[in-house]
Amino acid sequence: MPDNKNLIVTVVVTAVILSSIFGAGAGFLVVSNGVVSTGQIRNFWQKILPGGSNGAEQRTVRVREESAVVDAVEKVNPAVVSIIITKDLPKLEQFYYNPFGDDPFFRDFFGNDFLVPGTRQNGTQKQEVGGGTGFIISAEGLIVTNKHVVTDEQAEYTVLMNDEKKYPAKALARDPVNDLAILKIDAKDLPTVELGDSSDLKVGQSVIAIGNALGEFRNTVSVGVISGLARSITAGGAGVSEELTNIIQTDAAINPGNSGGPLLNIAGQVIGINTAVAQGAQGIGFAIPINEVKNSIETVKQEGKIVRPWLGVRYVRLTEDIATQNNLAITEGALVIRGEQRTDLAVIPGSPADKAGIAENDIILEVNGEKLTGKNILAKEVGKYKPGQEITLKVWHKGETKDVKVRLGEYGK
């Protein structure tokens, strides 16, 4: 006859193990006239689970994280849109012709039936030439995307919603400094995203990217971490090349077509705009921190356009190589210098910089006490302020350092 007491212990301990796997658990296990302590159960876990008694905890953590990702995606997905780019292009057709025309010699030699294929234009037709991603920031139809997605002013743009509805879109504003554009569609009561705070991001933090991958797979979700912060890159696409600074690096999969889509934190808040991917690499994508474009977004909401402060200088970021080549003791800052064309003056006549007395070959070292470095460039520092505000520049001028007060203008005015 079996030992009933041992049988009961085995059955009940097994039940506790199963209940722990499914999230129930127990503090104490009563068996007949005695008890089995949590310490005994922990020892049992260590014998049957990799990682010991932490196995159930690891499962719980993983389930919670996956649930958070699902919740974040469900929260944001309705406000993520695909952008379809179309353009009138020549419609080509194939035809056959005699390459020798009416020349009797060649016709007698080759015959009248000698024909070769060719192509010719037969009018134009609208064709899809590209795609990107955007996200809705206002219930009245304002949509954020990358400037390089909508750079062609001759193209037409269509917004495809997550519920399959389509709207023609107008490029309301293109940022002259950052890779940002705002579209407008004629719609109301739309779902919107929540903008987060990109000032306190941490390397290793979990992030989620959503986008129109390859212009074909709408609202594709990828998950990764922040791989780096404050990166500087030169990004190119659609015939445009620009230097971007203070960029977020992530290993969340970003593909062509993802441009303009949101990079989210685990709470489903937008912390970046997916912008570029490193060619020839895997898991190296880049996003513009959302705090970098919040001012531009707000000015579009309030004034219908992007309002940028304007200093009015052309410059290059000073490096040790440039300093060595020009016998300069200073290795960081903004070197005011003319462009490649003779008309590309270093200081724009009549600009705020011109009025303040800044000259070619000056080196701007600081903006309101903030030192200019490789990661902290002049455009970024000036962009913190509004047109009409007065700032103080520390300038190296002909071997001397001085403070220069400048009242910023408005870009484009």
Instruction: Give residue for tokens 């960029």.
Output: 247
Residue 413, beta-bridge partner list: none
Helix/strand number for the chain, H first, E second = 8, 23
Catalytic residue ranges: 148, 179, 259
Number of CB atoms found within 10 A of residue 319's CB: 13
DSSP annotation of 347 reads: B
Q: Cα 268 to chain center, whole Å?
A: 15
* DSSP letter for each residue of 169-233: EEEEEE-SSSS-EEEEES--S----EE---TT--TT-EEEEEEEETTTEEEEEEEEEEEEEEEEE
Enter the tokens of residue 373.
């470095």
3-state secondary structure of 392: strand
Q: Which amino acid is at 34?
A: G
Residues 6+ apart with CB under 8 A from 356: 393, 404, 405, 406, 407
Exposed, middle or buried: residue 209 (CB in 10 Å: 0-12, 13-18, 19+)? buried
Q: What are phi and psi of 191, to 5 degrees?
A: -70, 145
Burial of 329 (0-12, 13-18, 19+ CB in 10 A): exposed
Q: Which two tokens stand for residue 343?
A: 């008309």
